[in-house]
């Protein structure tokens, strides 16, 4: 069994999330109207789309890891 690199795994996850994003967008686009405010299926699609968008964003953004030299994101970088 070959081990994938960490970055390859992230790339695969991102590709699957983008496919899910495309599918949910197609379902929303094909949803019959008029849409009432109490349409639970449509509301679930909107919720799913938001979850996928947030997951894509989480994979694309560099996380901030606090350290003693940089306790907050706005801390200036220390040069040595």
In residues, how long is the chain?
80
Q: What is the pLDDT of residue 36?
A: 63
What confidence score (pLDDT) does residue 54 get? 97
pLDDT tens per residue across span 14-65 = 999 999 999 999 999 998 887 666 788 888 999 999 999 999 999 998 888 8
Distance CA 43, CA 24 (A): 12
Is the bond preceding 34 in cis, omega lying within 30 degrees of 0? yes
- pTM equals 0.70
> Radius of gyration of the chain from Cα atoms?
19
Q: How far apart are CA 64 and CA 72, in angstroms?
A: 8
> Domain spans of the chain?
8-59
What lies within 8 Å, CB to CB, of 75 at 6+ separation is 69
Grade residue 3 by pLDDT with cuts at 50, 70 and 90.
low
The first and second tokens of residue 77, run together, are: 């970088």
């Amino acid at each position: 069994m070959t081990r994938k690199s960490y970055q390859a795994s992230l790339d695969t996850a991102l590709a699957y999330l983008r496919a899910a994003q495309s599918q949910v967008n197609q379902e929303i686009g094909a949803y019959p109207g008029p849409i009432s405010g109490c349409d639970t299926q449509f509301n679930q699609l909107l919720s799913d789309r938001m979850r996928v968008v947030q997951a894509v964003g989480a994979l694309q953004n560099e996380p901030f890891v606090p350290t003693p030299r940089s306790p907050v994101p706005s801390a200036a970088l220390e040069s040595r």
